[in-house]
Structure 1
Amino acid sequence: MGLHEAPLLFQFEIASSEDLTYIPMSVRFNLDRFGLRISLAQWQMLPYEDRKLLARFPVEEDAQIEPNFDHALFEMLRTHANVEPEWFTPDAAPAWRETGAVPEGVLNQASLAGLAAPGIEQWAQLAPFKRYVLAKLSRKPEGNHDFLPAMREFGLAAAA
């Protein structure tokens, strides 16, 4: 699978990521998948067209589908910021991959947002990338302003 025609953005991201000022979830997924970490400042040093290109990479779990994300990121950061991303070892079994249990963080965020937590069946039926997004939005103990809009967009909470 090649690059998508347009940046992959959820509706809840458009307000903050439409101009790609902030790192969209599709890029965060690929950073985590390849074991790369960049700062928001480094992201914002990249020209808009480079950020747009990075947000077009596929979000499938198979690293062989599009192995050039890491190479593209390295070149862009070297060219425009004279830095390299940090490396880390990706989690071999992240909670979002598990379909038999809803991660604690997601349960906590649902409680903080005053929502019913997704059931195991709902969780298992979500696309892996959507499970990743909810888990990523739930990694801190305090409420995340994007969690409720994401739950609504994914059909797990009633629209306001």
Structure 2
Amino acid sequence: MALHEAPLLFRFEHDSSENLTFIPMCVRFNLDRFGLRISLAQWQLLPYEDRRLLACFPVDEDAEIEPNFDHALFEMMRTHANVEPEWFAAEEAPAWRDVNHVPAGLAHQAQLANLREPGLEDWAQLAPFQRYVLAKLARKPEANHDFVPAMREFGLAVPR
């Protein structure tokens, strides 16, 4: 699969990620997919064009389709930050892949936002990348400022 022509950003990310100052969800997805971790400070050391290129990689789980994200990231980090990304063991069965169970963090974030928790049918109908985004935004106990805009964008922002 070829790179996208433009960075893959959700509408809710445009304010925070349009200039790629912050790590967009598409890059976070690929970092998690490959088991790589970089800090925000390291991300911001990369030139804009490198950040833009990384945000154009597909968000597909099939590592055979686009195995060059990790190679590109390593080269960019070595060249511009004189560091390498940190490795971690990627989850083999992350909660967002399971269409038969809504992650508990979503219920908690929905409660904090006074929204109805997404039902199993809602969850199963989301694209895998959308499920990843919601699970990622709902992983911490405090309210996430992007959770409600993401729920709204995905058609799930229903008041309780």
Q: In 1, are the aligned partners of 2:115 and 2:158 still within 8 Å (CA)?
A: no
CA RMSD of aligned residues (A): 1.0
Alignment of 1:80 with 2:95, yes or no, is: no
Q: Secondary structure at the match of 2:141?
A: coil
After TM superposition, list the pairs within 5 Å mapping 1:3-82 onto structure 2: 3-82=3-82
Distance 2:106 2:62 in 1: 24
Distance 2:158 2:9 in 1: 21
| Residues matched between the structures, number | 159
Deviation at 1:158, TM superposition (A): 5.0
Tell me the residue number matched to 1:102.
102
Tell me the residue number matched to 1:116.
116
TM superposition outliers: structure 1 runs of 4+ over 6 Å: none
Tell me the residue number matched to 1:154.
154
Distance 2:106 2:30 in 1: 21
> 1:25-44 deviations in whole A, cap 9, x for unaligned?
00000000000000000000
Percent identity at matched positions? 77
Name structure 1 gaps, 5 residues minimum: none
Deviation at 1:120, TM superposition (A): 0.1
Instruction: Give the TM-score normalised by structure 1.
Output: 0.98
Name structure 2 gaps, 5 residues minimum: none
Alignment of 1:135 with 2:118, yes or no, is: no
